[in-house]
Amino acid sequence: MQSSLFTEDHEHFRSMVEEFVRHEISPYVEEWEQAGRIDPKLHSRAGELGLLGLLVPEEYGGGGAHDYRFRCVLMDELARAGAAAVNAALGGFDDLVGPYLVDLATGEQKERLLPRLCSGELRSAIAMTEPDAGSDLRGIRTTAVRDGSHWVLNGSKTFITSGGQADVVVTFARTGEREFSLFLVENGTPGFVRGRRLAKLGQRGEDVSEMFFDDVRLPAENLLGTEGAGLRHLMERLPRERMSIAYYGLAAAEAALSWTLAYTRERRAFGQRVADFQNTRFALAELSTEIDVSRAYLDRCVLALNAGTLTAVEAAKAKWWATELQNRTIDRCLQLHGGYGYMREYPIARAYADARVTTIYGGTTEIMKEIVGRDLVGEDVPAPR
């Protein structure tokens, strides 16, 4: 079923993105996966084409496009290329860090940081998760204590996407017994140390690292947003983060189905195409139906996000459903590839490893169901991610 989500403008944008992905990404995906590192020049090339900072106002070097459908086009094309790590690298700014800087940074911070982030000169990250606090962010131990005209930051973070390369880190810290705030920590600040680059199951091209803060002194103006409102700032922007994970999950499922249709039409077994077996046709029919039905809901969520009406509950539904669908689809598609599905030269194998984290990061499936369930029975929705 053809989605009606996109307009002619989006399809013109898609043509440019397709060419970029075909020439700058697809030939190198496996090379970057093996090296555990995406070529740093990719960010600059993406910045030149206006693929970074799509939501950032034009006066700060961004695209000035508050229409999330342009970001969806980019996710579609990266999913078709099996480039989940690249999506995490490029999307980390647009879907995670960018909204905080655009909404909460001072004019001076915006002028100094946003143009260089949009051009790809600088990299960014957001540091929330800690060794003992993932979904339950109220359990974090990193603290920021006011000392005159400075804040003193102490603690550690883990599983930070782009953490090893980030020049600017939005950091979540405890500023009181029940208060939390956000801070901008920049590369080179004394006491700010990068830890191990963590070895991941999938999305190996994009780094995920530890961070340590040892008496890091930050000027008072490095507070991002309102003191004590850090948790509220996070909650206000989580629907966009969760939609990015949900939408890429759906795009990845659609890509996996297309690869599998092509494979089963060509591959032969017992004198006939794999696609000619009833079991194959039934499996493909089920996956195609589930994807089409899911796209109808995701399309509505994207439009709601554009309108500013997408709720935390609606985003939670989208996130858990689409990522579970992604994992289920890719697993069944790999099975239809037979032994070749287990070989990394086939994109389905890489997609299988890349997909597993999507039901975990951004809030686990269990947390998403808890948010939806508590809303249904009339209880207060908790604050976990």
Q: Nearest Cα to 18, choosing from 62, 78, 60, 86? A: 78
Helix %, strand %, coil % of the chain (to 5): 55, 15, 30
Q: For this structure, is 286 an active site residue?
A: no
> Beta strands 180-186 and 223-224: pairing type?
antiparallel
| Per-position b or e across 158-192, b if 16+ CB within 10 A of its CB | bbbbbbbbbbbbbbbbbbeeeebbbbbbeeebeeb
Classify 189 as helix, strand or coil.
Answer: coil
Give the whole-angstrom CA distance, residue 49 versus residue 120.
10
Of 33, 206, 241, 254, the catalytic one is 241
From first CA to last CA, the distance across the chain in angstroms is: 33
Distances (CA, A) of 55 to 103, 169, 201, 340: 11, 19, 31, 40
Classify 272 as helix, strand or coil.
Answer: strand
Give the whole-angstrom CA distance, residue 141 versus residue 381.
23
Q: Nearest Cα to 264, choosing from 252, 255, 256, 276? A: 276
Q: Nearest Cα to 40, choosing from 89, 91, 112, 81? A: 89
Give the whole-angstrom CA distance, residue 333 versus residue 297.
23
Distances (CA, A) of 290 to 123, 317, 363: 37, 15, 23
Active site (catalytic) residues:
241
